[in-house]
Amino acid sequence: MKRITLLLIAFLFSTVLKAQKQLTTNQQKVQQAVVKLFSALSNRDSISLKNYSTADITLCEYGQAWTIDTLILKAITLNTSTDFKRTNSFEFINTTIDKNMALVNYRLQSAITKDGKQAMVQWLETVVLVKVKKQWKVKHLHSTLIKRI
């Protein structure tokens, strides 16, 4: 009777718990391109930012359509705070690849220090990437602000 109970419990747990799906090498590269784009943004590095995005990137931010020049202006050029620091953490939801195009959904949380003030900001984002000369680049980013603390 104890064996049957233990087997039943083990079976129930195995059906309730989901095993995390292993990512392919290509999916990892796609996600890494997204992480590197945000690292460049955090480091206020416009050259790397352009390297991880296409020349015609579109960004939907705060109800506006931005170009790479808009992003650089707002996030780098106008950001003259000497104590600026941004640390990003990602929770990838879905990464789908079809030949030379990829779609990624994720939650982004950023701890931001600027002008002596600290903030925690959370977004839900969707990114479309394309493969250019064997490198994944962000072509479109749509961002929805979830919470600013």
Return the CATH fold of 23-148: Nuclear Transport Factor 2; Chain: A, (3.10.450)
Find the mean pLDDT for residues 70-90: 96
pLDDT range class, residue 16, cuts 50, 70, 90: very low
pLDDT at site 3? 58
Q: How many residues does the chain have?
A: 149
pLDDT at site 1? 57
**Phi/psi of residue 126, each to 5°?**
-125, 130
Which helix (H) or strand (E) element contains residue 60? strand 53-61
pTM of the model: 0.85
